[in-house]
Structure formats: C-alpha cells, structure tokens
C-alpha cells in the first residue's frame, strides 16, 4: 500500500531542512561585522621635505585588533585636523597583515598644510597640547570578503611628546 505524504514532509527532506537551518545559524553568528581596531598611538615621528606651503610628515601608527580573526588592511585614506583646522591628508596604498588579538603597525606618510599648522602655532605653544582629529576610511579584507569601514579619532596630544616622538 502506497504511503501518502500530503500535509507531511517527506522523510528524506528533513536533512536538507536541518542543514539549511544550521547553515543560516552559522552565517548569522560567523559573519558578524569586525570590531574596529583600537588606536594606541604613534611612534617615530619624522618631518621630511618642506617647501612653501607643504611639508611631508611620516610616522608609524600603532593599533590593536580586538577580533578573534585576522584581517588584511588593503588601503586607507584620512584627513588630519589640529585644533579643528584642516592640516593634512594621507593615502595609504599598501597591504598590512593584521593578526588576531594582537598589536599591529601601519606606516603613514602625509602631506601637511603649513598654513594650518602656523595658524595654530600660538595656541599650541601656550596650551602645550593639541587636539588631533583623524577622519577617514579603511579598506579591509577578511578572508575573501573585502569591505570598507569609516574611522574617527579625536584626542589631546602633548606637544612635547609629539616633537620628541616619545608617544
């Protein structure tokens, strides 16, 4: 006597349904957005070539990756402000491997607008500190999946530490 499956799921259909449910759960928990790296400061501040209105500044930024997986930094772009005045712009077009739950370093070179710095010179010298603001976006890759992330940093920096590169 034939068995009728009207209104019931065929026994062979339970495995794909269960597999689909498990796959959806894995996708939801395994593909969450990475946390943004934490900015720890900079080191090796170098002032390079200066001519007229522009100067070149180089430094190494230090970050910590709080994620339990590694990432690849594929590029970045940022604007720099000192005490609310636009001062510089940087484009990073290099690849940096970011280890999981560890610190990593990003070399940065930027063009500085000397008018923006000189406009702040008296205030910086009197206060002995400067408010540094960084705004930009980074291109990251996790496995084969690339994505973009905006970032923002604002903090007060001691001018003596900046000039001596002791941060």
pLDDT digit string (tens) for 67-91? Answer: 999 999 999 999 988 888 888 899 9
H runs (alpha helix) in the chain: 14-30, 114-127, 159-164
Confidence at 13, pLDDT banded by 50, 70, 90: very low
Strand partners, 112: 55, 88
**126 conformational bin, left if phi > 0, alpha if psi -120 to 50, beta if neither:** alpha
Reported as a single tens digit per residue, the pLDDT across 118-150 is 776 777 677 778 888 989 998 989 888 888 888
**What's residue 127's pLDDT?**
76
Pick the CATH number of 34-164 from 3.40.190.290, 3.40.50.720, 2.60.40.1820, 3.30.470.20: 2.60.40.1820
What percent of the chain has pLDDT above 90?
Answer: 20
The burial of 75, by beta-carbon neighbours within 10 Å (0-12 exposed, 13-18 middle, 19 or more buried), is given as middle
pLDDT higher than 90, residue 2:
no
**What's residue 66's pLDDT?**
92
| 92 to 15, 43, 128: CA distances (angstroms) | 48, 17, 30
pTM of the model: 0.68
- In whole numbers, what is the pLDDT of the chain averaged over residues? 78
DSSP for 100-146? TTEEEEEEEEEEEEHHHHHHHHHHHHHHSEEEEEEEEEEEEEETTEE
| 37 to 48, 62, 99: CA distances (angstroms) | 28, 10, 11
What percent of the chain has pLDDT above 70?
Answer: 75
**What's residue 38's pLDDT?**
85
DSSP conformation class of 12: G
């Amino acid at each position: 006597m034939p068995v009728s499956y009207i209104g019931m799921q065929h026994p062979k259909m339970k495995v794909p349904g269960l597999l689909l449910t498990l796959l959806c759960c894995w996708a939801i928990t395994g593909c969450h957005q990475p946390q943004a790296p934490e900015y720890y400061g900079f080191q090796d501040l170098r002032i390079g070539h200066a001519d007229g209105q522009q100067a070149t500044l180089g430094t190494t930024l230090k970050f910590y990756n709080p994620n339990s997986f590694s990432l690849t930094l594929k590029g970045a772009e940022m604007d720099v402000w000192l005490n609310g005045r636009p001062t510089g712009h940087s484009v990073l077009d290099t690849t940096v491997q970011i280890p999981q739950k560890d610190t990593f370093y990003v070399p940065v070179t930027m063009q500085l607008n000397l008018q923006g710095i000189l406009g702040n010179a008296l205030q910086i010298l009197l206060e002995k500190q400067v408010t540094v603001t960084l705004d930009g976006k980074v291109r990251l890759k996790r496995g084969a999946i690339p994505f973009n992330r905006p970032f923002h940093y604002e903090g007060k920096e001691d001018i003596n530490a900046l000039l001596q590169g002791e941060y």
